[in-house]
Chains A and B, each alone.
Chain A
Amino acid sequence: GESVGLHLPTLSVQEGDNSIINCAYSNSASDYFIWYKQESGKGPQFIIDIRSNMDKRQGQRVTVLLNKTVKHLSLQIAATQPGDSAVYFCAEFRGGGADGLTFGKGTHLIIQP
């Protein structure tokens, strides 16, 4: 079935380094994607989003890249900080904004001092 998945379940990086979290999606009709951060015991927190008419979008220390040809999404976090340690999920709109989100499996990002 249609799904959104991640390549790496755990990613460990040194504090100050850049990190890249990847996500593959299977529904070529998807037109809106969101990255969320989830800390232990809390709800998801919006990080950044991108629509299918864009290839790249930048925020503060974060960049999302979308490659529609290979149905791949990535989240780049620059100059990682201890507070960036969390699980990161990509999510795909199921359609029209009224059908909820399909979440990927999640990547646990660990920032080492």
Chain B
Amino acid sequence: GAVVSQHPSRVICKSGTSVKIECRSLDFQATTMFWYRQFPKQSLMLMATSNEGSKATYEQGVEKDKFLINHASLTLSTLTVTSAHPEDSSFYICSPSVGDTQYFGPGTRLTVL
């Protein structure tokens, strides 16, 4: 149980383009979705928190207009990196949660050229 998928697993894009990352909980419904970002050789940093049907709450320093989060249902959330720049290159990991339990997706490696 508790299978989480992310798509795509890897994406390379040109600077200035937008990239959408999908996160699905395949066999459970998540009350809350967390999105984390991890730069090379660093730890995971929480970017934003969202609940189904509500606007996401962003951490300090994370631009809400740049990282658009849509939490369409209890099993699907998307993160769109708009007007991506090389400094946005990172490993993005979603984490659907049920109560105190957080599950993690396999991550999406974004490389912006």
B100–A32 touching, CB < 8 Å: yes
A106–B43 touching, CB < 8 Å: yes
Assess A93 versus B100: contact at CB under 8 Å? Given A100-B46, A102-B46. Answer: yes
Interface centre among A44, A89, A93, A103 (most CB of B within 10 A): A44
Assess A101 versus B46: contact at CB under 8 Å? Given A41-B107, A43-B93, A44-B104. Answer: yes
- In the complex, per-residue mask of B33-67: 1 if CB is within 8 Å of any chain A CB, else 0: 01010000011111001000000000000000000
Please tell me which one of the listed residues A44, A97, A104, A106 contacts residue B100 in the complex, with CB atoms under 8 A apart.
A97
Report the minimum CB–CB distance from B96 to chain A (whole Å).
Answer: 11
Please tell me which one of the listed residues A36, A100, A104, A105 contacts residue B34 in the complex, with CB atoms under 8 A apart.
A100
Closest to A108 in B: B41
B44–A98 touching, CB < 8 Å: no
7 tightest Cβ-Cβ pairs between the two chains A and B: A43-B104, A97-B100, A100-B46, A103-B43, A103-B44, A100-B34, A43-B107
* CB-defined A-B contacts under 8 Å, sample of 23: A32-B100, A41-B91, A42-B107, A43-B93, A43-B105, A43-B107, A44-B93, A89-B44, A94-B46, A97-B97, A98-B49, A100-B102, A101-B34, A101-B46, A101-B95, A101-B102, A102-B46, A103-B43, A103-B44, A103-B45, A105-B42, A105-B43, A106-B42
